[in-house]
Chains A and B, each alone.
Chain A
Amino acid sequence: MSSPGKSIVVIGGGVSGMATALVLAKHGRAVCLVEKKPKLGATLRGFSRCGAIFDTGLHYAGGLHPEGALTRYFRLLGLESLPLVEFNRNDFDHVRFIASGREIALPVGHEAILDTLCGHFPADRVFLRDYFKRLRNSFFSSAFLYFSTEFRAAMNEALHQESLATVLAKGTGDRCLRTVLSIHSLLYGVSPEETPFIQHARIAGSYLEGVKTVAGGGRVLAEAMEAKLDEAGVEIHRGVAVTKLLFAGGKDVTEVSLGDGRHISAEGVVFTAHPAFLPPMLPDGAVKPAFIRRLQSLEDTFSSYTLFGKSDSPIPALHGSNLFLCLEDDISRAFRPDCRAECGPFYISGSPAPHKDTSTDTDTAQRTGWGLTAFAPGNANECAPWAASRPGSRPDAYKAFKTRRLDCMRAVLLEHCPELTSVTFLEGGTPLTNRDFLDSPGCGLYGTKHSLKQFSPLPATRVANLWMAGQSVIAPGILGAIISAFVACGFILGMDTVRREIAACA
C-alpha cells in the first residue's frame, strides 16, 4: 500500500519509465514520473523533417504476433488497440553481401528461415538445424518471453555462458553464414565475441517469431503510453531533472530533489535512465563506493553514424523490409575500434508505415515524402576532440569532420544500393549526436552492453527502496525495456503477483 502523501518516483520518461509508472499506478500506487526532456518518450518519438517521418527508437519489433511476448505486455499496459503493421513475411530482413555477391532474404518463422538458410548454405544443414533448435530452446527458457517457463531470477544465469561467436565458430567455417546468423547484433550493439549466446537467442528469437511495427511509428506508441499515464492518474513532471535522492539520515530514499528546487516525498524510486546518471544523484555514504565504481565503469553498446534521407515515392526495398548491407563477409569487423563508418555494415530502415486513418494523424496526412534511416557502426572516440561541445554550438572542425564521414558513408550506400538513387539525404548524426539526443553518456545506441565482459546492473540495488529498470538492466530494445519495467515492479509489488498477472493475460 502507498504511504500517505508519498509517491513512488520513476526517474526517466522513456519506454521503461512509462511502463513502470503504468504498472505501479494500475496497482493503486501513487506514482510520480520525472523526465528531464520537455516530452516523454523523446527517443521513441523520432522527428519529422521536410515532410518525412524519421523513427529513432522503434524501427521494428519482434514478439508482436498474437501469442508474442510484446503483444502480451502491450495488453497488460492497455495498449492492445495500437494499430500494427506486419513486415514482409518472405523478406523482413534482407542481407546483401558485396564481397561475395550474395543476397539473402530472411523470412518470418523458425522453419521458414531454416529452410531458406539451408538452401543458401547446403553444406551447413546439420549445423543449422542444431543451431535453430538451440536458439529456440534458449528463447523458450526465458520466463519473460515464454510464459509457461518457471520463473527464475535473471541473475542466476550470469555465469557459465558461451559467446555467440564461439557457438558459431564451433558450428561452421562459413563467415558469410556466421554473419547472417549474427546480423541482429547490429540491433543491440554488442559484438558476437562479447554477446552471450542466450542473450542473442532471446533477441533474435523474438524477430524470428514475427515482425511488426506500430503504424505511424514510435511517436504513436509514445502518445498512446502518455494517454494511458494520464488515465491512470500518474503525476508527470516534464522538462525537469532529478538532481538528488535524499535519505534523511536513514538507509532508504525519503525524498527526491528536482532541478527547479522542488522536492517530492518518496516511498521508493525506480531509476530508468542510463546507469551512469545514477551515481551523481546519490549522497555520499548511501551505497558502498564499489557499487558506484561499477556503475561508472559500465561500457556502452556501440555507437553509430546515421544518415536520414527522403524520397518522393515509397522505396519498395524498404517497404516492410530492412536492408543490411555488408561490404565484407565478416561482421566482427564492425565492432573493432578502427572500423570507419564507410566500412559498414549498414542497417537501413524505411519510414514508419502510416495509420490507415490519416485524418487523425496530421503528420502522416501532411507527409510529402518517404524517409529512410541508415546506420553504420561508429566509434565514439573519433568524436573525443569535440566532446565538450553541445548541439547548436559545435565547432567548425567538428562540422567538417561530420560532413566528411557522412559524405563517405553516403557514397558507399549509393554505390551498392541502386534502390536509393531517388533519395535526397537531409540530415545526419555522429556518436556525439547520439550522446546528446539519446542521453547516452558513452554515445551508445542501446544503453550499456549486455556482455560476457561485464555484469549488467540488477533491478534491485543495495538501497532497499531504490530499483533500476531500462535497456541496460535486462535486455535492450522496446521489449527489453518493457520487461525490465515489469521485473522492477515485481520487486515492488511482489514477483509472484506480477508473474501471475502476466500469466493470466493470455
Chain B
Amino acid sequence: MTRCRPATSLALGLAGVVVGTGSGCRPSEPDRTAAPIVQTAASTSKPPFVERAQEAGIDFVWRSGHRERFLHPEILGGGVALLDADGDGRLDIYLVQGGSLESSTEHRNALFLNRGGGHFEDVSRGSGADDGGYAMGVTAGDYDNDGDPDLYVTNVGPNVLLRNDGGHFTDVTDTAGVGDPSWSSSAAFVDYDADGDLDLYVCNYLHWSPSSERDCRNAYDSPDYCGPQAYAAPAPDTLYRNDGDGRFTDVTRDLGIDQSLGNGLGVTIGDFTGDGRLDIFVANDATMNLLWVRGADGRFRDEALKRGCATDEAGQVKAGMGIGNADVDGDGDADLLVVNLQSETDSFFRNDDGLFRDETARQSLATVSRRFTRFGTGFVDIDNDGRLDLFAANGRVRRQGESFGDDPYAEPNLLYRGTSSGFMEWLPRGGTRSPLLLTSRGAAFGDLDDDGGIDVVVANRDGPTNLLWNAIEDRGHWIALRVLDEHGRDALGAAVTIRSGERTIHRDVLAAYSYCSSNDPRVHCGLGDATTIEEVLVRWVDGAEDAFGPFDADQVVVIRRPGVGEAPAGP
C-alpha cells in the first residue's frame, strides 16, 4: 500500500482542526476484517445528555396548529437541519415550522446561528431562511457548488429550495423547478449520476388535502388522527436531476421512480449494493420499503423485496418512519435500521454484500422499543468507545393506553449503548436525568461544540425543541472528518475508510438519515483508546479514491479533494 504524506494542521475552535489535501494515492482494497473494538470506561452513573435548549438560546416549538379537526399532517412534523450556514466552521441549527392548515396564522422556520460557547442566536428574520409554509422536514446540501450548504424544505404543499449565499438565503424554488406540490416528508441530496452536482430525492407521504381528511376515532371513541390506510392514497416520490445551471429536471418517470410507491417518510443514501453507485433507501409507512438501485441503463429499479429490506423477516409491512444508516457490524457495508410504530419491532437489516437480513432480535432491538412509536433515529458513537450507539426520538400518532403526561401523544425517547452483543438500553431512559416526555419527531445528530461528543437536537410537536448536550466526561478519543469535494462542498455520498491501529472503520459522508432531518455531514468516529489515525481513504462518488493522513486523534480534520491536475499539497 502506498503511504501518504501527512496533512497540514490548522487549529480552529474548541478542538484542533486539520486541513488535509489529497495525496492522490490509490491504495489497494482495504482490509474489511472488523478488528476488535477498544472499550473505554464510559461512566454510567451520570446521564450522557443534558438538556440545555433554553440555556443555549433555542426557543422554538413546532406548531401543529391543531384545533378541532384532526388533520393528518399535524401529527407527523417536523424536522431539524444541522449545517454550517454562515461558513464560520460551527454547526448551526435550522428548525422547520408547521403553523396551521386551517388558518393563515403565520409561523415561520427558524435559523439559529452557533455563536460558540454553547450559545445560539435566532437570526431568522432577515436571513431569508424563514419560510412560512407548513413544513414537515428539511435537508441540507450545496446544490450550486458554491461552498455553502443550501436548504430544501419539505412542506404540506409546495416545497421550497433556499439558496445560501454566505449565510443569506434566497427562495429559488421556481427557478430551480423543485416545488413539488405534494405532501412531502423527508428529502435527500444525492449525486445519483455522479456528475459532480447534487440531485434531489423527495419522499412524498400520501395524496391529501384538508377536504380529503377522514374521520377516525381512537380506542376511547374520540376523534383522533387516522393512519395512512384510511386514505389508501400513497403518493409517488420525486427525483430531481440537477442540471448544473441552477435548474433541476423532474426525472421521476424517466428513471422509473414512479414504478413503486408507498407512504414515504424516511430516506437515506448509500452504496448498499456495492456496485459503486449510490442507491436510495426509502422507509414507507404501512407499505413496503423501497431500495432504488440504478441499473446500467441509468434507470432505477426497486430491489428492496429481492434484497430483503422491503419487509421484516416475517414478511410484515410495518409503519416505517425514521432510518438509521451505518456500518454497525464493521464489515464494510452500510446496514439499515427502520423504526416503527408501537407494538411493532424495529427492523434492523444487516447488509451482507448487498443482500439484507433482518437481524433485529440478534441486535437486541426487538424488545424495549416496541412500547413506543419511534421517529427520528441515528447510529452515533455517543461515548466514543468505538461502538455505535443508537438514539430514537419517540411520540405517538394516536391516543392509546396510559398517557405519560398532559400530552396524550408524548413518550420518552430511547438511548441504547452499542455492545458486543447488540444494543442495550442506556439508562436513565433517553439519556437525560429525567425522561423528556414530549411528542418527538425529527432528530438531528452532530457535534455542535466541536468537542468530539455527538449532540442531538430533537424537534417536538407542540413542545419545546430539545438540545441534548453530550455530557459524558470520560469519552474515548475521536476524530471528525469534514470531507469536501473539489468545489468545497460536503462530498455527500463519499465513502470513508479510516485505519487506526488494528481497526478499519467504514463511514459515509452522510446528512440524510433519521426522520425529516439533516445531520452533521462530518464523519465522526469514536476511537476508544487509539490516539492516531494512520490513513483515511476516501472513495468519491465518481469512484476515484484518495488517501489522506496520518492524523492525530481528537480534532476536526478538513479533507479536500484535489482538483483536476492539481498537485498533491505538501505537509
Q: Do A and B bind each other?
A: no
Chain B residues in contact with chain A, CB under 8 A?
A: none
Chain A residues in contact with chain B, CB under 8 A?
A: none
